[in-house]
Amino acid sequence: METYKNLLTNKNFLICFCGGVILFVTSLVVQFFVSGYVNSLPTVPVTDLILSNIRVHDVGGIFVYGSVLLFFYGFLLGFRHLHYMPFALKSVGLFTLIRSLFVILTHISAFPTRIAIESPFFNNALFSGIFTGNDLFFSGHTGLPFLLALMFWEKKNIRIIFLGFSILFAIVVLLGHIHYSIDVLAAYFITYGIFQICKVLFKQEWALFLKK
């Protein structure tokens, strides 16, 4: 409680935190409209070295509930350690904006045998366009937990958890033919680059993040 009190009465922290919230929410809005845009375009699928040679598996449950579990774990971690939030929010926001830019540039439809994602969490206008559309390159499910793992690289247990999520989702989206293999492979390289950019752009937030 003392830590909360110190942070919530610190003007610089509040500015950084509010800036993070604004960037994060803005990125979600942009992603929503970008997903709607690419879903409205006439697109065709392409062949894939991996997907064309493995049968599709019904991994929808893991894909959906794994995403929910990742969200709640990240939220609880940030709620418990509030000083993580400004950098995390801004980094995830920038990650989402950059991914939206890539999505706009790449117009490919989902692989023909892609599994149908059915869940009460995603079966509505807000989520269906994001999680079941043609916003394929690069894989957000693979990249986002990897981004979080990079943030917590010095904290072994947390790093392993987020890396586990990233590897799990990489396997799941391939088995379910949800993403092309290039979407998954590129996610690791692009995400690492985004993380390095975030450390430069958000120096104050990164310094706060690293505080014990």
Q: For position 130, what pLDDT does the model report?
A: 55
- pLDDT > 90 in the chain, percent: 71
Domains in the chain, number: 1
**Which pLDDT band holds residue 1 (cuts at 50, 70, 90)?**
low
Take residue 77 and report the two structure tokens written for it: 């971690």
Whether residue 122 contacts residue 174, with contact meaning beta carbons closer than 8 Å, is answered with: no
Q: For position 36, what pLDDT does the model report?
A: 86
Spell out a b/e string for 188-212, using b for 16 or more CB atoms within 10 Å of the CB, else e. Answer: bebbeebbeebbeebeebbebbeee
pLDDT digits (tens, 9 = 90+) for 37-59: 988 888 889 999 999 999 999 99
pLDDT digits (tens, 9 = 90+) for 151-161: 999 999 999 99
Q: For position 170, what pLDDT does the model report?
A: 97
